[in-house]
């Protein structure tokens, strides 16, 4: 028995040793290394980035025992030379140290694809359009031993069709690099044939760094221009070419990508190349190659998504504009002009409105008129000097008298009147001053109304722009869902009806953008009207943080006063007190009450305070003619006693008068003043109640809208997460199209609610400021500090209310674990 146990033990040890040896052997057999030879058309940042991303993707895909090596000595750069490219390809095929060949760039890829046989695996990464260039295609693969290409499937015919939808033409100039024409000989023939099918004559314009000036001359008479990738032209020269095309007001389209459109090309219908996706495709192909699969069976399709992109600045330069429908469907670059007549902030809007408002201009003229009324009242107690001239005629018998003037006499002189004291006149001065003060309060009320209207109009523009952006984002979500539906239809997991349903959603989303654009335009027109500007005058808004850069709103500072019922009730009382102090309507009524009191006191003083006036007169006879113009000499002895009066006369007198009885006018005036004062007192109480209600209700709006900001933000964040999860589930066929539509609509509504909450709060806060009667505590930092001091003092004088400070914790999708769904990331 013991011997049997020893034999069994030896067998077990032998088996373990054999198993370990086998595992190491299998591991050694499976460990592989691929040396990749790379050929690129040009040394560029884009190609370098593609290789970097490819290495990262490979690292994530292959096992640690395998290795794919990109050696610098096996990286060949063609540098825009056809022969160099061909030699590099042949050299890598002959190089025993290279296991697989990777060609990057349209020329290198095409030249690689022209080979009949491949001694080692080879990948052509950038094929423009396999069908157009006549490359082999069998069930979505190349079907060629050791060869696979990646087909971008750029549909040139589709490009021409979409280009003509924007601007029709009969002649199209194709600007293409000499390197591409030489490297892809069939390209010219294919493009010419495609254009001819659409009754368009194609003119080829070669452009490289040595022939750019010649290309400028050839393009001067062009009707439309189609730009192929100009890979052998420096960026500066490309910019010069685009600028030259635009200066000639010629529409242009880029063949591939949005970046040239951002640099000035008019339109493009292909999206920016997805480098990350392409790098992942290359890495997967290399991983499959490591696993022993033949590249002949690899999928070749790598189509670019169609997305109309329009540079609106270029549209303005060349004078060709897309339709409204095209604009709603397109990505708009430079939608707003870089330089506009007005670029305005909220503060500038307020200042401009105050300077230009026609109603305010009229009110200020009324104030000027009121100042003159005060001067006229003062004039009643100022000296009045008048001059006169008088011609008199007497009958003959009187004129013959020695005691009268001659028959015809001319007299000139002046009168002086000076009311030294008069109670009604003094009361009128005081009353006119009070009326002027009331008019100033009326002007201040108008100022506050203008500030409120201008600020809200500006916020409405910002709100309309934000909602327009939200609708654009929703259109992009719909477009993504449409692409998912098309993919599901292609693989047979859904019916065509789903694609049609998303086409309906696309139309609805585009209609929503049109509506949002109209609302934005109406908001801009309304703002221009408030600014007294031309209603079609364009302007752009300044991007700024309104909370911190315009309004001095510090929620953390004010929160202890408003985040609980008891404190908020006292806060409302505080602002009501502020309203009674600042409201111009109350101040205006106070001046009216003071004027009524002054009128009452004046009526009571009429029998106790006299009117004192000084009067003076001076005259001179400057001419006497007719009968009696010569007086006889006074006979003696009368000539020593009597003399004829000289030609000058003057008098001066002081008049003091007091009324004794005026038929009951004084008593009636007193009663009238008393009744007016009582009426104004009742009006003031009614006004205070009305203003208090306005302040308190406005504060309730602020409280509700402010609370909605956080809630709607949280709602929007969760809705976005749900949309992403549902979108992933839909792409995997786990849920129906209705679930995705519901999730998208919920996200759209949540985003709109979030934007509306912010602008509603700001608008409500502006209305509160108007109700209180001052904007200084939100627009002026110094006044803001004084306001907080008054607030603290008010609470200190109200010991029943405690100020409670709290730590803020915001519940967001980042710190709350969301509900999980059995969905894998795509």
How many whole angstroms separate alpha carbon 245 and alpha carbon 261? 13
Task: Supply the pLDDT for residue 46.
Answer: 85
Beta strand 267-270 with 306-311 is antiparallel
So what's the pLDDT on residue 4? Answer: 42
Where do the domains of the chain lie? Answer: 1-30, 167-276+299-333, 355-361+431-541, 551-587+680-796
Per DSSP, what are the bridge partners of residue 37?
Answer: 101
How far apart are the C-alpha atoms of 695 and 330, rounded to whole Å?
46
Considering only the top CATH level, what class is 167-276+299-333? Answer: alpha beta
pLDDT at site 297: 93
pLDDT value at position 341? 54
* Distance from C-alpha of 85 to C-alpha of 536, rounded to nearest angstrom: 57
Which residue pairs from 764-769 have beta carbons closer than 8 angstroms and sit at least 24 positions apart in sequence? 764/698, 764/701, 764/702, 764/705, 765/551, 765/553, 765/702, 766/451, 766/452, 766/455, 766/456, 766/459, 767/452, 767/456, 767/698, 767/701, 768/575, 768/695, 768/698, 768/699, 768/701, 768/702, 769/452
Name the maximum alpha-carbon separation found in the chain: 197
pLDDT of residue 688: 93
d(CA 559, CA 252): 57
**Rounded Cα–Cα distance for residues 804 and 560 (Å):** 5
User: CA angle 444-571-804, nearest 5°?
Assistant: 145
Peptide bond into 32 cis (omega under 30): no
Burial letters for 691-712: b for 16+ Cβ neighbours within 10 Å, e otherwise?
A: bbebbbebbebbbebbebbeeb
List all residues 6 or more positions away from 163 whose beta carbon is below 8 Å from its beta carbon: 169, 172, 224, 226, 251, 253, 267
* pLDDT confidence of residue 26: 35
Sign of the dihedral defined by the CA atoms of residues 314, 318, 324, 326, in that order: negative
Pick the closest to residue 235 from 256, 255, 264 (CA basis).
264
Please state, as a whole number, how many other Cβ atoms lie within 10 Å of the Cβ of residue 753.
17
pLDDT of the residue at 454: 92
H or E stretch including 443? Answer: helix 423-490
Q: Which residues contact 28 (CB under 8 A, 6 or more apart)?
A: none
- pTM above threshold 0.75: no
| Residue 331 pLDDT | 85
Q: Are the CB atoms for 700 and 761 separated by under 8 Å?
A: no
Residues 52 and 49: their CA atoms lie apart, in Å, by 5
What confidence score (pLDDT) does residue 142 get?
92
pLDDT at 59: 87
DSSP string, 629-673: SSPPPPPTTGGGT-----SEEEEEEEEEE--S--TTHHHHHHHHH
Give the model's pLDDT for residue 815: 41
Q: What stretches of 565-715 adopt beta strand conformation (E)?
A: 611-625, 648-657
The Cα–Cα gap between 238 and 175 comes to: 11
Q: What pLDDT is recorded for position 5?
A: 41
Cβ-contact 152, 255 below 8 angstroms: no
pLDDT tens-digit series, residues 260-283 = 999 999 999 887 778 888 999 999
pLDDT in tens, 456-513: 999 999 999 999 989 988 988 988 888 888 888 877 777 888 888 888 998 898 889 8
What is the pLDDT at residue 7?
40
Cβ atoms of 166 and 261 closer than 8 Å: no
What pLDDT is attached to residue 824?
30
Is residue 616 within 8 Å of residue 415, measured between CB atoms? Answer: yes
If DSSP codes are grouped into helix, strand and coil, which group holds residue 233?
coil
Instruction: Extract the residue ranges of the chain whose pLDDT is less than 70.
Output: 1-31, 64-65, 338-342, 402-403, 543-555, 631-644, 799-826
3-state SS, residue 317 = helix
What does DSSP say about strands 225-227 and 252-254: parallel, antiparallel, or unpaired?
parallel
738 Cβ contact partners less than 8 Å away, ≥ 6 residues apart:
none
Q: What is the DSSP string of 461-516?
A: HHHHHHHHHHHHHHHHHHHHHHHHHHHHHHTTSS-HHHHHHHHHHHHHHHHHHHHH
pLDDT value at residue 60: 86
Query: What pLDDT score does 548 carry?
Result: 56
* pLDDT confidence of residue 633: 62
Tell me, what's the pLDDT at 653?
92
How do the residues of the chain divide into helix, strand and coil, expressed in percent and rounded to 5?
Answer: 60, 15, 25
Length of the chain in residues, anyone? 826
Q: Give the distance from CA 705 to its chain's centroid.
A: 21
Residue 44 contacts by C-beta under 8 Å, 6 or more apart in sequence?
Answer: 231
Q: Which residues pair with 70 in a beta bridge?
A: 36
Q: What is the dihedral of CA 351, 355, 357, 359, to 10 degrees?
A: 120
């Amino acid at each position: 028995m013991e011997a049997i146990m020893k034999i069994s033990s030896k067998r077990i040890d032998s088996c373990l040793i054999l198993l370990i040896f086998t595992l190491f052997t299998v591991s050694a057999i499976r460990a592989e290394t691929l040396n990749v030879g790379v050929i690129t058309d040009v040394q560029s940042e884009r190609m370098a980035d593609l290789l970097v991303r490819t290495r990262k993707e490979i690292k994530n895909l292959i096992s640690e025992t395998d290795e794919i090596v990109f050696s610098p000595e096996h990286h060949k750069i063609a540098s825009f030379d056809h022969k160099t490219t061909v030699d590099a390809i042949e050299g890598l095929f002959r190089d025993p140290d290279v296991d697989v060949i990777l060609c990057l760039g349209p020329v290198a890829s095409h030249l690689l694809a022209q080979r009949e046989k491949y001694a080692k695996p080879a990948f052509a990464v950038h094929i423009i359009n396999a069908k157009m260039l006549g490359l082999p295609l069998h069930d979505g693969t190349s079907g060629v031993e050791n060869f696979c290409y990646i087909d971008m499937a750029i549909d040139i015919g589709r490009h021409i069709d979409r280009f003509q939808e924007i601007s029709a033409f009969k002649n199209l100039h194709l600007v293409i690099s000499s390197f591409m024409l030489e490297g892809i000989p069939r390209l010219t023939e294919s493009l010419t044939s495609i254009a001819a099918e659409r009754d368009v004559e194609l003119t080829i314009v070669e452009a490289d760094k040595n022939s750019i000036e010649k290309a400028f001359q050839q393009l001067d008479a062009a009707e439309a221009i189609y730009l192929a990738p100009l890979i052998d032209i420096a960026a500066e020269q490309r910019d010069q070419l685009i600028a030259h095309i635009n200066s000639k007001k010629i529409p242009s389209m880029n063949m591939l990508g949005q970046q040239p459109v951002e640099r000035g090309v008019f339109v493009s219908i292909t999206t920016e190349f997805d480098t990350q996706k392409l790098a992942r495709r290359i890495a997967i192909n290399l991983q499959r190659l490591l696993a022993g699969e033949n590249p002949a069976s690899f999928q070749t399709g790598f189509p670019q998504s169609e997305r109309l992109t329009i540079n609106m600045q270029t549209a303005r330069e060349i004078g060709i504009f897309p339709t409204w429908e095209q604009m709603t469907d397109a990505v708009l670059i430079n939608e707003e002009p870089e330089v506009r007549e007005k670029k305005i902030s909220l503060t500038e809007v307020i200042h401009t409105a105050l300077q230009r408002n026609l109603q305010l201009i009229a009110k200020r003229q009324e104030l000027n008129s009121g100042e003159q009324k005060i001067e006229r009242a003062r004039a009643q107690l100022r000296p009045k000097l008048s001059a006169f001239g008088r011609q008199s005629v007497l009958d003959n018998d009187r004129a013959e008298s020695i005691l009268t003037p001659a028959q015809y006499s001319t007299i000139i002189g002046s009168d002086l009147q000076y009311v030294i004291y008069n109670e009604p006149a003094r009361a009128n001065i005081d009353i006119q001053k009070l009326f002027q003060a009331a008019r100033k309060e009326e002007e201040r009320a108008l100022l506050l109304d203008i500030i409120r209207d201008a600020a809200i109009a500006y916020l409405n523009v910002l709100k309309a722009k934000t909602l327009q952006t939200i609708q654009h984002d929703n259109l992009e979500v719909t477009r993504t869902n449409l692409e998912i539906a098309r993919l599901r239809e292609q693989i047979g997991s859904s019916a065509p009806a789903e694609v049609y349903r998303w086409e309906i959603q696309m139309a609805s989303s585009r209609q929503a953008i049109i509506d949002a654009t109209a609302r934005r335009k109406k908001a801009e027109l309304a703002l221009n009207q408030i600014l007294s500007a031309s209603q079609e005058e364009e302007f752009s808004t300044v991007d700024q943080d309104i909370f911190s850069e315009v309004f001095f709103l510090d929620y953390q500072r004010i929160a202890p006063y408003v985040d609980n019922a008891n404190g908020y009730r006292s806060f409302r009382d505080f602002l009501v007190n502020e309203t009674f102090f600042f409201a111009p309507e109350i101040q205006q009524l106070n001046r009216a009450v003071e004027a009524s009191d002054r009128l009452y006191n004046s009526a009571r003083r009429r029998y106790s305070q006299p009117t004192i006036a000084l009067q003076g007169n001076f005259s001179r006879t400057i001419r006497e003619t007719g009968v009696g113009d010569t007086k006889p000499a006074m006979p003696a002895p009368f000539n020593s006693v009597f003399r004829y009066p000289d030609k000058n006369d003057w008098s001066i007198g002081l008049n003091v008068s007091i009324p004794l009885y005026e038929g009951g006018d004084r008593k009636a005036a007193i009663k009238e003043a008393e009744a007016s004062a009582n009426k104004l007192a009742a009006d003031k109480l009614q006004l205070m109640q009305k203003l208090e209600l306005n302040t308190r209700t406005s504060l309730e709006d602020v409280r509700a809208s402010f609370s909605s900001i956080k809630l709607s933000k949280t709602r929007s964040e969760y809705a976005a997460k749900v949309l992403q999860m549902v979108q992933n589930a839909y792409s995997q066929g786990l849920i129906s199209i209705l679930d995705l539509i519901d999730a998208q609509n919920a996200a759209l509504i949540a985003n709109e609610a979030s934007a509306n909450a912010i602008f509603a709060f700001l608008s409500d806060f502006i209305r509160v400021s108007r109700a209180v009667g001052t904007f200084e505590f939100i627009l002026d930092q110094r006044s803001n500090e004084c306001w907080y001091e008054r607030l603290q003092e008010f609470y200190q004088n109200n010991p029943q209310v405690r100020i409670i400070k709290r730590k803020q914790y915001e519940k967001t999708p980042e710190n709350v674990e969301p509900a999980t769904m059995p969905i894998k990331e795509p």
